[in-house]
Amino acid sequence: MIRKLTAFAFRPPVLLGLLVLLGPSTALAQVCSPAGGYSSSFVVTGDVQEARTFTQSSLEALTPVSTVDDFFISHGGTSSAQYTGIGLWDLLNAVGLKKGINLPNEYIVVTGSDCYQMTFSMGEIDPYIGGTQDVIIAYELAGAPLDASSGFAKLSIPGDKMGARRVSWIVEIQVLPGTSS
């Protein structure tokens, strides 16, 4: 099922091409707006055994923990930071994926409170399919909790050269099936 494309005039056209052709879920439509803002929790939904909400403390309780050095080019120059968090693959395993899904065909949509969405194929993150991409749900920057400019959790993708796939203020992570089985 294809939903309407959610796009906002303030997004550069290049980034709009990266948005998924799905609008926010019904629950998400209540918590995201073009203005964005601080998020203190996010929910994992879709092809998971049971939807689950995460806060700072519940994310910190998960293992394994990853600390990564992230360096990328942004509109203001270069940026580098050391983030601590949990891998997206590890988070999905902690929640539990539904039994019998066609894992290589699944994809993940991460949405921020500003309705900015980024999509990852399961193959990018699943080490058994060949996933070589580190996608971290970061909750600390240089050993301290993230500040209001990022929410309590944001994406860190150390292998990316540009910051386009970094979603701040995460409010929802959806696991969705592809169009074929």
Give the residue numbers spanning the domain of 106: 38-176
pTM over 0.75: yes
Q: What is the pLDDT of residue 110?
A: 96
CATH number of the domain that residue 98 is part of: 3.90.420.10
| Long-range contacts formed by 65-69: CB under 8 A, 24+ apart | 66/90, 66/134, 66/136, 68/134, 68/136, 68/156, 68/158, 69/158
65 is a domain residue: yes
Q: What average pLDDT does this structure show over 107-131?
A: 91
Average pLDDT, the chain: 80
Q: Do the strands 66-74 and 52-54 form a parallel or antiparallel pair, or are they unpaired?
A: unpaired
How far is 162 from 8, CA to CA, in rounded Å? 20
What percentage of the chain has pLDDT greater than the value 70? 80
Question: Contact 146/137 with Cβ under 8 angstroms?
Answer: no
Q: What is the pLDDT of residue 180?
A: 65
66 is a domain residue: yes
| Total number of domains in the chain | 1
33 is a domain residue: no
8 is a domain residue: no
160 is a domain residue: yes
Q: What average pLDDT does this structure show over 171-175?
A: 97
Question: Is the pLDDT score of 164 beyond 90?
Answer: no
Question: Is the pLDDT score of 181 beyond 50?
Answer: yes
Q: What is the pLDDT of residue 166?
A: 86
Cα separation values, 30 from 57, 66, 71, 114, 116, Å: 23, 31, 33, 11, 14
CB burial readout 97-130, b (16+ within 10 A) else e? beeebeeeebbbbbbbbbbbbbbbbbbbbbeeee
27 is a domain residue: no
Q: What is the pLDDT of residue 26?
A: 46
Which of the pair, 107 or 150, is modelled with greater confidence? Answer: 107
Q: If pLDDT is split at 50, 70 and 90, which confidence band does 12 have? A: very low
Q: Do the strands 42-46 and 170-176 form a parallel or antiparallel pair, or are they unpaired?
A: parallel
Q: If pLDDT is split at 50, 70 and 90, which confidence band does 112 have? A: very high
161 is a domain residue: yes
How far is 28 from 26, CA to CA, in rounded Å? 5
